[in-house]
Amino acid sequence: MAGISAEVVEARFPLLSGHTLEGRKVILPKDLKGMVALIAVAVQRGAQSMIDSWRTPFEEEFAGDPKIAFYEVPVIEKENELFLGGVINAGMREGIDPAKYGSIITVFENTKRIRKVLGMDDPSRAYLYLLDQEGTVRWRVSGFADRGGIEEIITVTRRLAGSGGAARNL
């Protein structure tokens, strides 16, 4: 598990516009105002198992709390949107529980720019950002979850939310 990056923590999460697998437009972090959200960002498909290693325990811990959310954000090169956007989203929907469609936000953007802005040094890794109710990054990690990381994210999330509870969709 990678350490926390001082350059990204305490910074406002950048505006990212995308669509959920349900087809709804979402602007992060604007559309999350008032919620504590764990955002998993990846630019390569191979990072999915890393995302799942965080998502499952996070959602189990906070099930039912409408003030806490988990979102998965695959970032795909902007040039692929026009001709392949629909095919890419259709492919992502296959094999995914439809109940999670609202929490997966596909963003077509310049991946190098996103990686730079978010401090994503290794494109093969998933990066997770815990946002407070105002969209400020309060915690950051990359790679696979481990016991210490899960305990830490749960503690920080509870402190930020002032409760206990679960991921909800936009």
pLDDT tens-digit profile of 53-84? 999 999 999 988 999 999 999 998 765 545 55
pLDDT value at position 160?
94
pLDDT value at position 97?
72
- In whole angstroms, what is the distance from residue 12 CA to residue 138 CA? 9
Domains within the chain, CATH numbers bracketed: 16-161 (3.40.30.10)
- What lies within 8 Å, CB to CB, of 164 at 6+ separation is 61, 62, 65, 158
Mean pLDDT of 151-159: 94
pLDDT value at position 42?
94
User: pTM score > 0.75 for this model?
Assistant: yes
Mutual angle of helices 48-61 and 147-161, in 10-degree steps = 50
Mean pLDDT of 84-109: 69
Query: For all residues of the chain together, what is the average pLDDT?
Result: 83
- In whole angstroms, what is the distance from residue 102 CA to residue 79 CA? 24
pLDDT value at position 163?
58
Q: Looking at the predicted structure, is the pLDDT value of residue 165 above 50?
A: no
Q: Where are the alpha helices (DSSP H) in 29-70?
A: 48-61
**CA nearest to 71, candidates 116, 13, 158, 148:** 13
pLDDT value at position 93?
43
**CA nearest to 70, candidates 148, 3, 170:** 170
pLDDT value at position 99?
78
pLDDT value at position 132?
95
pLDDT value at position 170?
46
Name the pLDDT band for 94 (thresholds 50, 70, 90).
low
Mean pLDDT of 132-136: 95
- In whole angstroms, what is the distance from residue 102 CA to residue 115 CA? 24
pLDDT value at position 78?
65
Asked if residues 27 and 17 have their Cβ atoms less than 8 Å apart, the reply is yes
